[in-house]
Amino acid sequence: MKKAVFLDRDGVINDGTRYYTYRVADFVLNPGVAEGLKLLQDAGYILVVVTNQSGVAKGEYTERDVATVHDFMRNELGKQGVIIQKVYHCPHHPDVMECDCRKPRPGMLERAIEELDIDRKHSFMIGDSKRDVEAALKAGVYPIKTSKNENIVPWCEKIANGTIFSL
């Protein structure tokens, strides 16, 4: 089994000040993201992004827009030696359709745990909202709540050097 760090996208990996980020031109990596993720990767963690993208259900943007932004994100991080193992997104919104994947539900994390053979007891979730924390707890992984657009390097250092212990 693998240990993993799950990451919210908007507000953790990229600037989350826009209501929706669905165009490459609007996607800006937050300071320290590549450095922090590299620390985690070098410490043996796989990196998995789990992100709510309700703008799809609301007709604001398409699944293709989401895929294009995720490809760009992975390529930009890849240039700095960071490998995102997989990206899971929830395109639903409760006003349009109920699902088990929209955080705070743990569906995306549970799917990743199953598909990627992840050891939930030695894994973490870094997110900037209460719903990220709730999803992590429901999936049995250790939640870390950051502020929106906070530099995650200090958290990544703590995970990588074992100062934060998983559940």
Read off the pLDDT of residues 32-48 as tens digits, 9 standing for 90 and up: 999 999 999 999 999 99
pLDDT digits (tens, 9 = 90+) for 19-34: 899 999 999 999 999 9
31 inside domain: yes
Cα 31 to its chain centre, rounded Å, is: 16
pTM: 0.96
Note whether 45 and 3 are within 8 A (CB).
yes
Name the pLDDT band for 110 (thresholds 50, 70, 90).
Answer: very high
Mean of pLDDT values over 112-130: 97
132 inside domain: yes
| Residue 166 predicted with pLDDT over 60 | no
96 inside domain: yes
Look at residue 141 and give its three-state secondary structure: coil
26 inside domain: yes
pLDDT value of position 93: 85
* Exposure of 136 in the CB half-sphere (CA atoms within 13 A): 27
Domain with 88, as residue range(s), is 4-160
165 inside domain: no
Which CATH number goes with the domain that contains 31?
3.40.50.1000
DSSP calls for 29-88: BPTTHHHHHHHHHHTT-EEEEEEE-TTTTTTSS-HHHHHHHHHHHHHHHHTTT--EEEEE
150 inside domain: yes
Which active-site residues does the annotation give? 8, 10
**Domains held by the chain: number:** 1
| Residue 126 predicted with pLDDT over 90 | yes
167 inside domain: no
15 inside domain: yes
